[in-house]
Amino acid sequence: MPSTPVTRALETLEVPHQLHLHPAPVHSLEQAARERGLAPGQIVRSLVFRLEDSSFVMVLVAGPARVSWPRLRRHLRVSRLTTATPAEVLQVTGYAPGTVSPYGVLQALRLLADRSLLAYPTLSLGAGIAQAGVILGRDDLLRTLTPEMGEFTE
């Protein structure tokens, strides 16, 4: 089984996990969930935003939920933020878009998590490599990452 920065970080933290390798490119959240034996709401998207002071923040959102820009700005106490560009995502996290995980990132990031993550006891995150995901327990994720919880979706 291949090793990724994400699986290595999880092993260091002694977090039980499973690396799922997809047999072919994944074209949708629904496909990723189906192939991992999960519901779409169990797939966690790790989204990176650039704030007005040029710092970055990562927001963990469950499944197909959409980020509420007003709620996110209000929580962060900023008037402007933008989605990080693919180049910025790679520079800050070390991961290409579509493979991003809050584990094993290059730079320490402020981490927020939408309360929708609490709906399922098992979640799946980006594995740091294409066509793969890491499946782990929600409680392990919350214990090891301690994100700021909030209502960040519409």
- Supply 129's token pair: 């490599």
Q: Report DSSP state, residue 2.
A: -
Tokens matching residue 76: 């962060």
Is 3.90.960.10 the CATH classification of the domain at 5-150? yes
What are the structural domain ranges in the chain?
5-150
Q: Helix, strand or coil for residue 31?
A: helix
pLDDT in tens, the chain (154 residues): 688 999 999 999 999 999 999 999 888 999 999 999 999 999 999 999 999 999 999 999 998 899 999 999 999 999 999 999 999 999 999 999 989 999 999 888 999 999 999 999 999 999 999 999 999 999 999 999 989 999 999 8
Closest of 91, 66, 71, 90 to residue 81, by C-alpha: 71
What is the model's pTM?
A: 0.93
